[in-house]
Amino acid sequence: MGQLIEVASSKRFPSEERLLLREFAHRISNEFASAISVISLAAARSANDEVKIALAAAQDRLQNYAQVHQALRIPEHGSLIDASSYLRQLCRAISRSRLDVKSIELVLVDRPLRMNSDRCWRLGMIVSELITNAARHAFRESGGVIRVDLRPSQSFVECRVTDNGTAAANILPGHGLGIVEALAKGLDGKIDQHFGPQGATTVVIFPVDSEAS
């Protein structure tokens, strides 16, 4: 994770680092595809209905994880993209892979916003990390709600991630907090966290654009 933090905190990705990250992501995608293929083949060969059902569920879960991985891949080229559409795709994949099984509802409130693809990728990484940590620490068996609110203005973007769980103030221990802080720094932004009896709130504020991106 330390390498990820170092890369993410830079203003722009040198071509060598971008190439290495893309190659690493490509190999992970191949591993997902290989595992899904093995499970699919095993299910097709099995004569036991219960085994088929279990393998189908495992295959579906892996496919959902692969979709999250795909959504979080570093963009190949810098360009302007629709941040709202990107976050919708990411949140949908995270819900299917990590939240539905825990009865956690993920609500995205987005507004039209076009961003540089590298900066949007960093924002997606932040949102993914905050959702993952909330799902891991904030809820018990009863489930709950995580809300992602994207609020662009003329000069700044505010991304607010809230939950109605019961986590203590150490919801982002260790590497989790380091990743979020490094990614926010890469956006020339800052983060603020608040933990209360009604849940946790994390606010990330950063410029709409940056000449250094």
The whole-number pLDDT of residue 9 equals: 38
The whole-number pLDDT of residue 206 equals: 95
What's the pLDDT tens digit per position in 79-130?
Answer: 888 999 999 999 999 998 889 888 999 999 988 899 988 899 999 999 999 9
Q: For 128, list phi and psi in degrees, rounded to 5.
A: -60, -45
Task: Name the residue range of residue 7's domain.
Answer: 2-16+73-207
Q: For 198, list phi and psi in degrees, rounded to 5.
A: -95, 5
Structural domain contains residue 6? yes
The whole-number pLDDT of residue 8 equals: 39
Structural domain contains residue 181? yes
Structural domain contains residue 12? yes
The whole-number pLDDT of residue 21 equals: 67
Structural domain contains residue 79? yes
Among 74-78, 95-99, 116-120, 203-207, the least confident range: 74-78
Structural domain contains residue 24? no
Per the confidence metrics, is the pTM higher than 0.85? Answer: no
Listed in sequence order, the DSSP H helices in 9-116 are: 15-45, 49-71, 83-94
CATH for 180: 3.30.565.10
Report the distance separating Cα 171 and Cα 177, nearest Å.
9
Count up the domains in the chain and report the number: 1
Structural domain contains residue 96? yes
